[in-house]
Amino acid sequence: MKKTIISILTLALAACIALASCGGNDNDTNSKEENSSAISVEEKSTADSAESSEASDTVSADSSVEESSEISEASEDSEASKDSENSAEETTEDSSQELAVGKTLAFKAKYVKTGIDSSKTQPYAVVIDSDAELTSYYLTNKNACGLGADYKKMIRDYDVNFFEDKALIMVACAENDDTARHEVSKAVLIEYGGNKWLNLEIKHIKGDGTGTQTGWHVIIELDKEFLEAKDNIAVNIVEG
């Protein structure tokens, strides 16, 4: 009987030990599963953090690219603006140079021998922009300048109709040799010192040296455009 009870107790003790052992394994298993879960969560958190960091870096990089692009565009706009300003300045300078060079005017010229007005420095120019002024010039200078029949023949066509859109310049020249000739080569309207000027270039063509002293009137027909410079006329005699 006692042996039977001892055997039962021994079996019961063995069963308890087995249960305790199973329970410990379950706890260890649960602990391992919890630890594994915790590690998985931490790894996921770390991965999410890394992805978030990469996303942040990407956004930062994109922002940097956009800012760089904006800076580049602003720089290009600034350079384009400067180019435009430089172009405008160049255009202004070109216009100024063109104005300084001047505008060449169309003209017609006639040449007639006259006397010499010794009271005036030769050559000189007189502007006439009406038929009344033409008549006045003739009456005032016919004796001093010896304005005879040849001169009157030269001016007979300059009537009221002519002076509607044209005007004349009378250039008086003195010549030591009446075999010499003159030729108007250029009429240029320029701006100088804030004023309009008319530059007349007249070629002096030498004669054979056998002639006597005489005067010439060079009669130049121009559009009335030149009247802007009627108070500033320069006559340049050049050797032809």
Count of positions (residues) in the chain: 240
Q: Which of 175, 173, 195, 193 is nearest to 184 (CA)?
A: 173
C-alpha 235/C-alpha 229 separation (Å) is: 13
DSSP string, 81-111: HHHHHHHHHHHHHHHHHHHHH-EEPPEEEEE
Does pTM surpass 0.75?
no
Q: What is the CA radius of gyration of the chain?
A: 56
pLDDT score for 60: 44
Mean pLDDT over residues 148-174, rounded?
Answer: 96
pLDDT score for 82: 53
Determine contact, residues 121/216, Cβ cutoff 8 Å.
no
- pLDDT, one tens digit per residue, over 74-120 is 455 555 555 545 544 444 444 444 445 689 999 999 999 999 999 99
Sheet harboring 181-192: ordered strands across? Answer: 103-104, 181-192, 195-205, 233-239
Give φ, ψ of 101 to 5 degrees. -65, -40
172-209 b/e (C-beta count within 10 Å ≥ 16 → b):
bbbbeeeebebebeebbbbeeeeebbbbbebeeeeeee
| Sole residue written with tokens 């002519």 | 162
pLDDT score for 100: 55
pLDDT score for 107: 97
